[in-house]
Amino acid sequence: MNVSARRVAVSLNSVAKLTSRCRQLTLTLQRPQRSIIRSKMDTRALRNPYADYDGRPESTQALFDSQGRLTPEFAQRLSSKVSELLAVMENGLKSADPRDCTSYTGWTGIAVLYLHLHSVFREPYYLQKALDYVSRGLKCLTRRHDVTFLCGDAGPLAVAAVVYYRLQRPQEADEFINRLLQLHHNVVKGSGGLPDELLYGRMGYLYSLVFINQQLGQDKIPLQYLQQISEVVLASGENLSRRMRLQDQSPLMYEWYQEQYVGAAHGLAGIYYYLMQPGFVCGEERVHRLVRPSVDHVCRLRFPSGNYPPCIGDDRDLLVHWCHGSPGVIYMLLQAYKVFGVPHYLESALQCGEVVWRWGLLKKGYGLCHGAAGNAYTFLALYRLTQDPKYLYRACLFADWCMNYGKHGCRTPDTPFSLFEGMAGTIYFLADLLQPMKSRFPAFEV
């Protein structure tokens, strides 16, 4: 039986029991520990001013109905704010770095936003804007070893392929796909110092292939291309685990600049999330033998708060970001629950949700990588799996926070209008919330 066939059907009753158990675990944290944690976390987060979901229909009636459909009024508010912030973003981009081609902070990230808006609103104007911005990105490709979707040339090439596909220009789309696949050899040859993580490593290139298949059809990039990358990543992880003599604790281990990062962007959680995707690794037995105990090793790193360290050996419980901390680790946990069916993975994911609700409104701002919008995707991921209205409610209130952009005294990012640090990412989230069951963290979720 393959991995996908073993995915677990989650019942509302089982989720309710796990949610209740998670709340009990939260309440049983020792009060001195909670006091220490609170003072540390408060250095990075603003106080959450919202009342939590109390189970009464009245608490959600202004946001969504019993079927999870947003009310017309709230949906209109989201749409209006998208338009308003787009105008601000466009004006701000006039002073953006003209040489930054990346999805993370550059022109391609703006193209990703407009592609998403085209998907949501079906306005041809947005597709033309996506073409305009990805064309800027293509003019300043790095042509270096940077091969990832977020920080390298794979991003502009993959996004260009999708833009031309939607424009019904298949020949040009195929040309960009071919250019993207020309990077494949250097990714899988297993040398040259290429790391394995998402932002700058092999998984970042793998995502570019996933992006093509998500947008153009699952067989556009043959599965063998993804499996070859996964094979190299597995071999790399086994090798480092042996060198560090960690085989008994974690059959796989990864590092970036001699640090064993834990989170989604540079670390273990992001890598394991992809290695657990159905079909990405040849042989279900290897997923169970290598990936599952490595996931369990990450689980053992959890702080009493429910949060996770940025690196192995770092005991500072400070960061509640998608890049470092619970908001990124949760995707690994949810995928582990889907694949292995073990309740404690979902239990840990629910605790991540509690961490984000309490400490997820960050002083760093409203962005995706380390901001309120990125943290809100925690709730959307939980909602899609559990259908518990609490998580849609929380996502909507984080959206309310984001719709008051600039009114909370948050820091201004280095690239204030970009996809992953700035306003473009916030706009992406607000538009994504219009279709909660279709929402996905951009440039990351499968």
311 annotated to bind ligand: no
The 10 Å CB-count burial string (b at 16+, else e) for 53-66 is beeeeeebeebbee
The CB density around residue 137, as the number of other CB atoms within 10 Å, is 25
Q: What is the dihedral of CA 12, 18, 21, 23, to 10 degrees?
A: -80
CA nearest to 348, candidates 328, 380, 369, 326: 326
In degrees and rounded to multiples of 5, residue 362 shows phi and psi of -85, 150
299 is in an annotated binding site: no
* Residue 370 assigned as binding residue: yes
How many Cα atoms within 13 Å fall on the side-chain side of residue 290?
25
Contact indicator for 72, 63 with CB cutoff of 8 Å: no
Q: What tokens does 116 get? A: 């998403």
Residue 64: strand pairing partners: 70
CB 419 within 8 A of CB 428: yes
| CB neighbour list of residue 223: distance below 8 Å, 6 or more residues apart | 279
Binding site for Zn(2+): which residues?
323, 369-370
Binding site: which residues?
323, 369-370
